[in-house]
Amino acid sequence: MILELTATIREFILGLDKSIEEVPKKYYVAYKISQNIVCIEVKGRNIKLFLKLKPSDIPADTGHYRDVTSIGHYGTGDVEFTLASEADFEPVKAFIQMAYNKVGE
């Protein structure tokens, strides 16, 4: 299940733009153009996505989200989403798109 979810997330991110690079690191995989957009870290039965967004970009009632501004972590950004299923991923797609659009600014 986690392998399928990882593949779905990967396809979505790489499908945003042909110039997005997939850069495997020791503890995570980064997706970047000129700078990282999103980093994926697989943790047991969950996938953690770290997005290059500010916590103020995320509405307060957003599920599976936490502000990691002052928490040490691998990867990029101050926004973390923890996903365990395809249903968890659906609402996060818009935030990945937002992070992609902001890198281009």
Q: Quote the CA–CA distance of 101 and 105 in Å, as a whole number.
A: 7
How many domains are contained in the chain? 1
Would the pLDDT of 105 be above 80? no
pLDDT tens-digit series, residues 20-50: 999 999 999 999 998 999 999 998 899 999 9
State pTM to two decimals. 0.91
Tell me what percent of the residues of the chain surpass a pLDDT of 90.
Answer: 77
Q: Quote the CA–CA distance of 50 and 38 in Å, as a whole number.
A: 6
Q: Quote the CA–CA distance of 88 and 76 in Å, as a whole number.
A: 20
Q: Which of 99, 97, 56, 94 is nearest to 75 (CA)?
A: 99
Parent domain of 65 = 2-103
For residue 21, what are the contacts with CB-CB under 8 A and spacing of at least 6? Answer: 31, 32, 33
Q: What is the pLDDT of residue 72?
A: 79
